[in-house]
């Protein structure tokens, strides 16, 4: 990890993006979301239809001085809902525009009819349209003060309570939380903290243990490396060699120019700092590929071929020593699989991960406060340049950027760390290809805190629309998940308490 | 409920005191606490000994802008602690000086040796010495903003986490939360929200259902009335008649003077408003007596004889119609049982419940924010003047007093209301004589959310030192409670997760 300083902070924001993508990197999500207004076409399945609604949420659930409200956006689809009492599948929105999550969670749309369920997608505060202080929401740390997971969970709880008490037929509807990635962490935590509100939770690809002291900080990048190693001979080894090659080539002005042309960069590399950013950008590219290594053509983060890492690795199969230039030519071809599969990009933009978009800033703030997720590389068990986890440097950077310091232990205290056995009715699903599985729950904790592994799955594959190329493991996972949903719904109906009122 | 206005607000603070005593009325606690510094004598058992320590707590656990800390006081007694790994009994401090709770929770002291347990008594923020902003803590609603139960629970969690990580031998110690009254509510909620931190909780006389929509608002005063009815013939009926008698007598100046002399009031009644305060004060007296109707001499809120309501009722046994003056003479004698059992009071102070002491203000603020506890009387099923629950008026008064408005539904959402079945390992003990049992959990919810009823018990009798006059029901309750403690400790030792660390 690099030291602080204003310019490098934004570098760090970019790097934080690497570390937290799809948990983070909201600029991508923000761009994507513009593709899907209201009634939208999708890659698979029929067009989906929902109502866009707004709920007046308290800005601060945990204090009474700030009594203002903001409009929280949520989407409702009740075409298949069997009222009264039909279940509700409630998506606990992550760090981005909720319409994007809505459109990328085909699983919920596919099971709605089967379960007679209403679908609700609730936007996370400070993202999309749900801005507590409008355009001022990100203006300073004072306005950012209410951007926490606890506030978001309270939003969800209050919203559901309101839906139940105002929507005819919903009073006794069992509600199941569903979420992926950070949204999956929220769905698990939601069940833990508000079991009165949700009868169970599906936490897909939710790295709830990616916090200090819970899992080794190097496992994330080890998983990325394994994905490349298994997708082509010498593939990971050649990426490991590429960093030194970049260092060598970028040490001269002509080398920088060559690199810029070889990678068709929109903005040519000019100096050493540019080459550091360039390496960060490449590192993020490999991480993103590991996350979206889906068995079919998809455009989750980028339009990509099926099993994209296999395609990438075709360009990185050198089995003997080649020149730095030959190696980097292969790397360039590989990167273009990710950035220019459709052939429509005239140049590659390495600064995109450093964009100060709302979403990206929001997650960076969350990483700088509660969501402290240690990551490290050693260059031996992984294919990256060695970099230790340095909490103090990270904290100093956060302080310089936002005037806040992360609390390393808080997430563990408030969300239970590894001591979860007292909770119930949570499915933790993880993909074996997904680097975030390193911080996920990948073994059963109890009979009702269960792990569902999808060995051939990347990041929350189970939440996506079904596809002919789906491996059997994800089909089985979805069937199991629906089975648990049914069980929780039955339990809830059986156990419904008799209420007395004054 | 009376309408607002600055003067009446303080009346209302006094009345809120009536409604929340021992949950509230902190001036009493503050006075009492001065009797028990450090190493103290008690009514029963040997002197107790503890260390007074302070922990740097974050002022705001749920936001990162306010990063300051304050000194939270806690008391530790580890004489009998069997380390490594011996259990910890952790008192979740209520709205007052922690030394007073420490000295009035003899049960913990008595079972410490038996269980080889460490005792920890943690002070609730904004009470006693644990003031987030020192003398400014109560200066305005800005400084009061961090006085919530959620912040208090987070204090407890962080404190325990710290004790476990810094105290040799405590790392794997199972911790059990114990509390009475509001402290009991906190201990139950603590187990619900932080089952990773405490393996179980004893919530004694904890009215966790005394919130809007959960129990009838009149049950509290009905229980008070029943206590008087069963303690002497015509006793409750005569108190019911006394309000009109006071109205009659106080309608003239000479009547007010007579009342003042008859009741040996320190400050004579001068007008109608004084007589309203006088009635509030009497009403609170009867409530207090119901709470402390213990089977032996005790001085919890006041020095009192054994079964004090029976003693009181000796003066209220008129079986036929008597004059207003005769009736009120009896009421006066009765009140003096409570206020002057020792004979050392030269006069009775009706304004004491209106004192703006820190503790009292703190609870009033909590009642005006989260702790919204509807109470009402009808004069038929209870012995009080009819008074409806009027949330709007209450809210307006809170707004005038603190600039905050209570959130009627929040406690139900955040703490689960009646939907608690997903939780585990909580004992809800209640006394049949205790008016707070009306808002308590008095039936088993599940096998591990159990109700322990003490029919002859008043307010958290089970937490007090054992006494020769204890009824068999409280002896049985304590034995059962210790049995559950042992079971939870065994469970915890068996289930201890294997942790991996980076």
Report in angstroms the alpha-carbon separations of B45 from B103, B180, B467.
11, 20, 9
- pLDDT level of residue B280 (50, 70, 90 thresholds): very high
**Number of separate domains in chain A:** 2
How far is residue A470 from each of residues A295, A440, A463, A477, B385, measured CA to CA in Å?
A: 6, 22, 12, 11, 71
Both A442 and A349 in one domain: the answer is no
Closest CA to B29 of B122, B101, B106, B134: B101
- What are B392-451's pLDDT values in tens digits? 999 999 999 999 999 999 999 999 999 999 999 999 999 999 999 999 999 999 999 999
Domain that holds residue A284: 217-359+371-403
Let me know whether A282 and A423 are in one domain: no
**Residue percentage of chain B with pLDDT more than 90:** 84
**Which residues of A does the annotation mark as catalytic?**
181, 434, 459
- Across B253-269, average pLDDT: 97
Whether the Cβ atoms of residue A278 and residue A304 lie closer than 8 Å to each other = no
CA–CA dist A38, A51 (Å, integer)? 8
Among B379, B403, B427, the domain boundary falls at: B403
Query: Can you give the pLDDT at residue A48?
Result: 86
* B59 in A contact zone (CB under 8 Å): no
| pLDDT tens digits, one per residue of B76-92 | 999 999 999 999 999 99
Tokens (6 digits) for A369? 């406060």
Residue B403's alpha-carbon distances to A65, B141, B144, B369, B400, in angstroms, are 8, 7, 11, 10, 6
**Do residues B231 and B348 both lie within one domain?**
yes
Could you tell me if A202 and A222 lie in one domain? no
Cβ pair A7, A271 in contact under 8 A: no
Q: Which residues of A touch B418 (CB under 8 A)?
A: 497, 499
* Chain B hits for A417, Cβ within 8 Å: 196
The answer to whether residue A23 sits within a structural domain is no
B150/A contact by beta carbon, under 8 A: yes
Beta-ladder partners of B54: B73
- CA distance linking residue A465 with residue A109, whole number of Å: 8
List, for residues A216-246, the tens digit of each pLDDT value: 999 999 999 999 999 999 999 999 999 999 9
Tell me: do B181 and B275 sit in the same domain: no
Longest distance between any two alpha carbons in chain A, whole Å? 82
Q: What is the pLDDT of residue A302?
A: 83
Q: What pLDDT shows up at residue A453?
A: 98
- CATH number of the domain encompassing residue B125: 3.40.50.1820
Are A377 and A387 within 8 A, CB to CB?
yes
How long, in residues, is chain B?
A: 502
Check B495 against A154: CB less than 8 A apart: no
B48's CB contacts (< 8 A; 6+ apart) are: B39, B40, B42, B77, B102, B103, B109
Alpha carbons B203 and B400: distance in angstroms, whole number: 34
> In chain B, which among 281-300 make CB contacts under 8 A with chain A?
none
- Say if residue B204 is in the same domain as residue B237: no
Do B497 and A67 count as a contact with CB atoms less than 8 A apart? no
| pLDDT above 70 for B3 | no
- Whole-angstrom Cα Rg for chain B: 23
User: B404 and A215 in contact by Cβ < 8 A?
Assistant: no
Within a domain: residue B73? yes
pLDDT at B497 over 60: no
Please name the helix (run of DSSP H) or strand (run of DSSP E) that holds residue A54, with its range, or none. Answer: strand A51-58
Asked whether B42 and B434 are in contact (CB, 8 A), the reply is no
What CATH number has the domain bearing residue A355?
Answer: 1.20.120.980
Residue of A58, A154, A215 with shortest CB distance to B502 = A215
Two structure tokens written together for A22: 């799809």
Residue of B nearest to A153 (CA): B414
Residue A226 and residue A203 in one domain: no
Radius of gyration of chain A (CA): 23
Q: Which residues of chain A fall below pLDDT 50? A: 1-43, 353-358, 500-502
> Cα(A450)–Cα(A260) distance, rounded to whole angstroms?
48
DSSP designation for B146 = G
Taking CA atoms, A149 is separated from A93, A320, A323, A327, A429, in Å, by 11, 49, 49, 44, 21
Residue B386 and residue B431 share a domain: no
Do B352 and B467 share a structural domain?
no
How much is the pLDDT for A3?
27
Of B148, B421, B495, the CB nearest to A63: B148
Alpha-carbon gap, residue A357 to A128, rounded angstroms: 11
Catalytic residues of B, by residue number, are 181, 434, 459
The answer to whether the Cβ–Cβ distance between A422 and B421 falls below 8 Å is no
In a domain, B315, yes or no: yes
pLDDT at res. A301: 80
- Is A366 among the domain residues? no
The answer to whether position B413 is within a domain reads no
| pLDDT over 60 (residue B351) | yes
**Is A64 near chain B, with CB under 8 Å?**
yes
The CA distance from A188 to B343, in Å, is 61
Q: Residue B171 falls within a domain, yes or no? A: yes
B398 and B429 fall within a common domain: no
**Interface residue B154 vs chain A (CB under 8 A):** yes
Report if residue B394 sits inside a domain: yes
Cβ of B142 within 8 Å of Cβ of A500? The answer is: no
Extended beta strands in B41-182, E state: 51-58, 69-77, 88-92, 118-122, 175-180
- For B370-385, give one letter per residue: b (16+ CB within 10 A) or e: bbbbbbbbeeeebbbe
Find the CB nearest B62 among A150, A419, A497: A150
Same domain, A391 and A463: no
Which chain A residues are closer than 8 Å to B421 by Cβ?
A: 495, 497
Q: Look at residue B299 in the predicted model and tell me its pLDDT.
A: 84
What's the confidence (pLDDT) of residue A108? 98
Are A222 and A352 members of one domain?
Answer: yes
DSSP string, B247-282: HHHTTSHHHHHHHHHHTTBSS---SHHHHHHHHHHH
Contacts of B196 in chain A (CB under 8 A): 413, 416-417, 419-420, 422
Instruction: Return the residue in B57, B58, B64, B210 with the most chain A beta carbons within 10 A, the one to mutate for interface testing.
Output: B64
Q: How far apart are the first and last CA of chain A?
A: 60
pLDDT tens-digit profile of B14-56? 343 334 434 333 222 222 222 222 333 344 556 789 999 999 9
Q: What's the pTM value of the predicted model, to 2 decimals?
A: 0.92
Contact A265, A351 (CB under 8 A): no
- Going by C-alpha positions, the residue among A477, A452, A455, A453 that lies closest to residue A466 is A477
Distance from CA of B479 to the nearest CA of A (A): 25
Beta bridge partners of A52: A75
* pLDDT tens sequence across B202-245: 999 999 999 999 999 999 999 999 999 999 999 999 999 999 99
Mark yes or no for CB contact A63/B497 under 8 Å: no
CA torsion, ordered A117, A118, A122, A128, to nearest 10 deg: 110
Residue A96: inside a domain: yes
- φ, ψ at A62 (rounded to 5°): -110, 15
């Amino acid at each position: 990890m690099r030291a602080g300083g204003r310019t490098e902070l934004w570098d760090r924001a970019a790097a934080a993006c690497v570390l937290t993508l799809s948990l983070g990197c909201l600029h991508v999500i923000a761009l994507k979301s513009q593709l899907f207004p209201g009634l939208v076409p999708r890659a698979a399945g029929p067009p989906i239809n929902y109502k866009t609604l707004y709920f007046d949420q308290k800005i601060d659930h945990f204090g009474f001085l700030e009594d203002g409200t903001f409009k929280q956006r949520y989407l409702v689809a009740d075409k298949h809902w069997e009222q009264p009492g039909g279940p509700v599948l409630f998506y606990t929105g992550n760090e981005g525009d909720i319409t994007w999550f809505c459109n990328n969670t085909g699983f919920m749309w596919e099971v709605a009819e089967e379960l007679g369920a209403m679908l609700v997608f609730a936007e996370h505060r400070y993202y999309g349209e749900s801005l507590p202080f409008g355009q001022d929401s990100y203006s300073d740390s004072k306005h950012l003060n209410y951007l926490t997971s606890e506030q978001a969970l309270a939003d969800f709880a209050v919203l559901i309570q309101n839906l139940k008490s105002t929507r005819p037929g919903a009073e006794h509807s069992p509600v199941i939380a569903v979420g992926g990635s950070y949204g999956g962490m929220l769905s698990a935590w939601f069940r833990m903290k508000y079991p009165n509100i949700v009868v169970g939770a599906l936490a897909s690809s939710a790295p709830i243990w990616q916090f200090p002291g819970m899992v080794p900080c190097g496992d994330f990048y080890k998983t990325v490396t394994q994905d490349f190693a298994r997708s082509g001979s010498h593939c990971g080894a050649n990426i490991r060699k590429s960093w030194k090659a970049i260092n060598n080539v970028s040490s001269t002005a002509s080398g920088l120019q060559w690199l810029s042309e070889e990678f068709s960069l929109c903005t040519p590399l000019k100096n050493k700092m540019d080459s550091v950013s360039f390496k960060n950008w490449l590192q993020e590219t490999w991480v993103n590929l590991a996350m979206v290594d889906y068995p079919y053509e998809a455009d989750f983060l980028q339009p990509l071929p099926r099993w994209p890492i296999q395609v990438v690795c075709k360009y990185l199969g050198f089995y003997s020593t080649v020149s730095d230039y030959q190696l980097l030519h292969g790397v360039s071809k590989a990167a273009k699989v990710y950035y220019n599969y459709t052939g429509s990009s005239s140049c590659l933009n390495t600064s995109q991960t450093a964009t100060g978009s709302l979403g990206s800033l929001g997650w960076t703030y969350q990483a700088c406060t509660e969501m402290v997720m240690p990551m490290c590389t050693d260059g031996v068990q992984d294919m990256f340049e060695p970099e230790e986890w340095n909490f103090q440097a990270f904290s100093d950077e956060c302080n310089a950027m936002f005037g806040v310091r992360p609390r390393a232990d808080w997430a563990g205290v408030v969300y239970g760390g590894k001591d979860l056995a007292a909770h119930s009715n949570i499915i933790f699903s993880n993909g074996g290809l997904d680097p975030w599985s390193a911080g996920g729950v990948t073994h059963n904790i109890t009979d009702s805190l269960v792990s569902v592994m999808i060995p051939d799955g990347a990041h929350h594959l189970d939440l996506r629309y079904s596809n002919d190329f789906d491996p059997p493991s994800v089909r089985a996972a979805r069937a199991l998940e629906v089975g648990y949903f049914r069980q929780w719904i039955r339990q809830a109906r059986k156990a419904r308490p008799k209420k007395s009122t004054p």
